[in-house]
Amino acid sequence: MATNPSKSEAPSVGEELGETEGRTLSLRSIRSGYITIISTVIILALWELFGSQIDPLFASYPTAVAKAGWKILANGTLVDAFIASIQPFILGFALAIVVGIPIGLLIGRYRILEAAFGVYVTAGYATPLVALVPLFVLWFGLGFKVKVVIIFVLSVFPIIINTWAGVQSVSRTLIEVGTAFVASQYQIMRKIVIPATIPHMMTGLRLGVGRAVIGMVIAEFFTAVGGLGGIITNAGNRFDTATMFVPIIIIMVLGVGLTALVGVLERKAAPWHRSVTGR
């Protein structure tokens, strides 16, 4: 999973800066865009060149993958599989956000809750939760439900842990500003802690997206033969390497796309933060 936000995304904050600064930045970002495209073309060409020399059992190459992709797209397998994968993904990840952020906020803000639950969050983050998948299958069967659970469990911990760390890094004096203006606990949370924590929440989402994608594929490997992971397993069993690459590439693009989306979201939600302003 490529979770690395490419450098070319960063300068599109040009609108925040002076006009001339903005212009040079957007020029620079266009140039980086070209470089990325050229690099991709070269890699694909090399892959094509060397991949086609190797036994198609062990590796494939772009045109063969495209052909295989077109075949399963035309017969509807790919679309069905994508829908089967993306539905539990969206539900599981959405649940992780809705549950993870409030828990992170509360644990970060209240020492009692931190003492009571912090250890489980740390444990959940540090444990390779993939080890629990067979247990989840016992509990939730082999269908839609277990996929949602696996995606949720894998992605919720990075979200909690980053939100938690974010709350604790809110400057004490900023909270004191709230106290000095007689803000209630609730107002301090809503008007100071939450906005100040947004950049950390976004980091949590970015890490969470990566793990949710992993969760999605693992869930499909372990459970029902279905979805994109199902295509990988089936094609692998048939030694159809070209077809196997199709969902792999789609998952890769999905991961990169979602990570970029979180980046966009961050710039929208926290345009003041130094990761965005560069200060």
Report the distance separating Cα 123 and Cα 135, nearest Å.
17
Tell me the closest approach of the beta carbon of residue 199 to another protein, in angstroms.
10
Near another protein by CB under 8 A: residue from 27, 43, 54, 177: 177
Report the distance separating Cα 246 and Cα 69, nearest Å.
6
Q: Would you say 192 and 174 are in contact if contact means Cβ atoms under 8 Å apart?
A: yes
The answer to whether residue 272 forms part of the interface with another protein (CB under 8 A) is yes
Tell me the closest approach of the beta carbon of residue 161 to another protein, in angstroms.
23
Near another protein by CB under 8 A: residue from 121, 161, 189, 192: 192
Of residues 26 and 275, the one with the C-beta less far from another protein: 275
Stretch that binds another protein, among 24-32, 224-232, 235-243, 269-277 (CB under 8 A): 269-277
Near another protein by CB under 8 A: residue from 187, 253, 261, 264: 187
> Torsion angle, CA of 134/237/88/102, rounded to 10 degrees?
50
Measured CA distances, 58 to 50, 182, 245 (Å): 12, 68, 11
Near another protein by CB under 8 A: residue from 179, 236, 253, 264: 179
Of residues 237 and 277, the one with the C-beta less far from another protein: 277
Tell me the Ramachandran region of residue 61: left when phi exceeds 0, alpha when psi lies from -120 to 50, beta otherwise: beta
Query: Residue 199: how many CB atoms within 10 A of its CB?
Result: 20
The answer to whether residue 54 forms part of the interface with another protein (CB under 8 A) is no
Stretch that binds another protein, among 74-82, 103-111, 170-178, 211-219 (CB under 8 A): 170-178
Q: Would you say 68 and 238 are in contact if contact means Cβ atoms under 8 Å apart?
A: no
Q: Would you say 97 and 90 are in contact if contact means Cβ atoms under 8 Å apart?
A: no
The answer to whether residue 180 forms part of the interface with another protein (CB under 8 A) is yes
Q: List residues near another protein by CB under 8 A.
A: 171, 173-174, 176-183, 187, 191-192, 195-196, 198, 270-274, 277, 279
